[in-house]
C-alpha cells in the first residue's frame, strides 16, 4: 500500500482511504453485510484510513464502522467528525455546533458508538460561525490531552480559519470536497493555507459522488430517497452538461488503459504528495477498482490533456443546494 503523511510530521496513512458514509446514508439502499465485508477487504489490502462521522445515519455509520473494526483495531486509522446537527423534524436542514461542551459530549458519544478508546483523527465537520474557531479547537485540544483523540482535523474550513486554528493546536488534516469537478481548494486559498501550515488535504467525494465514474447515466438511476436527486449538479440541464464532460474523461481513461474512476482518483493524488483521497464505496469489487488508481501515474502532458477537456470551472451547477452551500469554505 502506498502511504502518505498526514500533515507535517504526522502519521502515515494509506494514500487512498475508504469513505464509509454511503454505506449508511444518502446514496440509496443499505447492505450492511457487504459494507462490512468491504471494510474488512480494505484493511486486508493495507488501506488504513476509514472515514465516518456522527451525522451519517445519524449515528448508524459510526456503529457500522465500529462493528467492522472489532478485532481489527490495530490495522485501522479511524477518522470521525462532529459539528453538523440535523433537525429530526426536517431531515434536509443542517446546523453547526462548535461549542466546547458539545465537542466534549460528541467525542464521548462517538467513542462509544465506535467501540474504541481513542479516535485517530477528529474533525470539526463544519465551522460554527457563532463560535470562534479558537474556542472549538481549544476544546478539541483538550481531548488530545485527555488521550481521547490523537490528531485534529477541520472540514470545509476556509484559509483564514485554518491559519487561526493552527495557532491553537497543530491541525493534521483539512477535509474538503476536491475532485475534477470541484477544484475549490486550489482556487480559494485553502490548499495554500494547508501548505503553509503543514496540513494534509483530505479530498472527499473524489469521484464526484459517483458521477465521474461514468456509471450514472440519468437522474433516474438513483433510488427515490437518494440525496443526489436534490443536488444541483445532478439536475436537468446541469446533468446533461456534466455528462458530456464525463464522456471526455471516459475517452481519456480508455486511452490510458484505466477506468474513469481510476483516472479521477489518480488526478486527485497527482495534485500533491500532501493530498489523500477517500473515495466511498460499499462494494468490494469497486474498492479493488479504486485501489487500482494507485498504479496510474499521470505525467504533465496527461494532466494538461485532462485540464483541456475538463477545465477548473467547466462543471455546471453548485456542489450543494441552498443553505448547505453557506456552510462550506467557512
DSSP codes of every residue in 232-291: GGGSHHHHHHHHHHHHHHHHHHHHHTS-HHHHHHHHHHTT-TTEEE--B-S-HHHHHHHH
Which of the residues 110 through 149 are near ligand NAP (CB under 6 A)? Answer: 125
Let me know if 108 is exposed, middle or buried by CB neighbors in 10 A (0-12, 13-18, 19+): exposed
- Does residue 54 bind ligand NAP (CB under 6 A)? no
Q: Is residue 227 flagged as an active site residue?
A: no
Decide whether 219 or 301 has the Cβ nearer to ligand NAP: 219
**Segment contacting ligand NAP by CB under 6 A, of 86-94, 161-169, 286-294, 296-304:** 286-294
Decide whether 10 or 19 has the Cβ nearer to ligand NAP: 19
**Segment contacting ligand NAP by CB under 6 A, of 162-170, 242-250, 275-283, 313-321:** 275-283
- Does residue 57 bind ligand NAP (CB under 6 A)? no
- Figure out which of the listed residues 77, 102, 181, 204 binds ligand NAP, where binding follows CB under 6 A: 204
Rounded (10°) angle between helices 260-269 and 236-256 = 90
Decide whether 56 or 147 has the Cβ nearer to ligand NAP: 56
- Does residue 207 bind ligand NAP (CB under 6 A)? yes
**Segment contacting ligand NAP by CB under 6 A, of 19-27, 67-75, 98-106, 298-306:** 19-27
SS3 assignment, position 120: strand
Give the cell for residue 290.
479504486
Contact in structure between 291 and 47 (CB atoms under 8 Å): yes
- Does residue 83 bind ligand NAP (CB under 6 A)? no
The Cα 166–Cα 137 span in angstroms is 9
**Segment contacting ligand NAP by CB under 6 A, of 248-256, 285-293, 296-304, 314-322:** 285-293
Strand partners, 94: 86
Decide whether 131 or 180 has the Cβ nearer to ligand NAP: 180
- Does residue 274 bind ligand NAP (CB under 6 A)? no
- Whether omega for the bond prior to residue 42 falls within 30 degrees of 0, making it cis, is no
Q: What count of other Cβ atoms lies within 10 Å of the Cβ of residue 295?
A: 10
- Figure out which of the listed residues 13, 16, 41, 51 binds ligand NAP, where binding follows CB under 6 A: 51
Q: What are phi and psi of 267, to 5 degrees?
A: -60, -45
Give the cell for residue 326.
453557506
Residues designated as active site: 56
- Contacts with ligand NAP, residue ranges (CB under 6 A): 19-22, 27, 51, 125, 155-156, 175, 204-210, 213, 215, 261, 278-283, 286, 289-290
Amino acid at each position: 500500500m502506498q502511504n502518505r503523511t498526514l500533515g507535517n510530521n504526522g502519521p502515515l496513512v494509506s494514500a487512498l482511504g475508504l469513505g464509509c458514509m454511503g454505506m449508511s446514508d444518502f446514496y440509496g439502499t443499505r447492505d450492511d453485510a457487504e459494507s462490512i465485508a468491504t471494510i474488512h477487504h480494505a484493511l486486508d489490502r493495507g488501506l488504513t484510513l476509514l472515514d465516518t462521522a456522527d451525522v451519517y445515519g445519524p449515528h448508524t455509520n459510526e456503529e457500522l464502522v465500529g462493528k467492522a473494526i472489532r478485532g481489527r483495531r490495530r490495522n485501522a486509522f479511524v477518522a470521525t467528525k462532529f459539528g453538523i446537527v440535523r433537525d429530526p423534524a426536517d431531515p434536509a436542514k443542517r446546523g453547526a455546533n462548535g461549542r466546547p461542551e458539545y465537542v466534549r459530549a460528541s467525542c464521548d458519544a462517538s467513542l462509544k458508538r465506535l467501540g474504541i478508546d481513542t479516535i485517530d483523527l477528529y474533525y470539526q465537520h463544519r465551522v460554527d460561525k457563532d463560535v470562534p474557531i479558537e474556542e472549538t479547537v481549544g476544546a478539541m485540544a483538550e481531548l488530545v490531552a485527555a488521550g481521547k483523540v490523537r490528531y485534529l482535523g477541520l472540514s470545509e474550513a476556509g484559509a483564514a480559519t485554518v491559519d487561526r486554528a493552527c495557532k491553537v493546536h497543530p491541525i493534521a488534516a483539512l477535509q474538503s470536497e476536491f475532485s475534477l469537478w470541484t477544484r475549490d481548494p486550489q482556487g480559494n486559498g485553502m490548499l495554500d493555507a494547508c501548505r503553509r501550515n503543514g496540513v494534509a488535504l483530505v479530498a472527499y467525494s473524489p469521484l464526484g459522488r459517483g458521477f465521474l465514474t461514468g456509471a450514472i447515466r440519468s437522474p433516474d438511476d438513483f433510488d427515490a430517497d437518494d440525496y443526489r436527486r436534490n443536488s444541483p449538479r445532478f439536475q436537468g440541464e446541469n446533468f446533461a452538461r456534466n455528462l458530456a464532460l464525463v464522456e471526455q474523461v471516459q475517452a481519456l481513461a480508455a486511452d490510458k488503459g484505466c477506468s474513469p474512476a481510476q483516472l479521477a482518483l489518480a488526478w486527485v493524488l497527482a495534485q500533491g504528495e500532501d493530498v489523500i483521497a477517500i473515495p466511498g464505496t460499499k462494494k468490494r469489487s469497486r474498492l479493488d477498482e479504486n485501489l487500482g488508481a494507485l498504479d496510474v501515474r499521470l505525467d504533465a502532458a496527461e494532466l494538461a490533456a485532462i485540464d483541456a477537456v475538463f477545465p477548473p470551472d467547466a462543471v455546471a451547477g453548485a456542489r450543494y443546494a441552498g443553505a448547505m452551500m453557506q456552510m462550506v469554505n467557512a
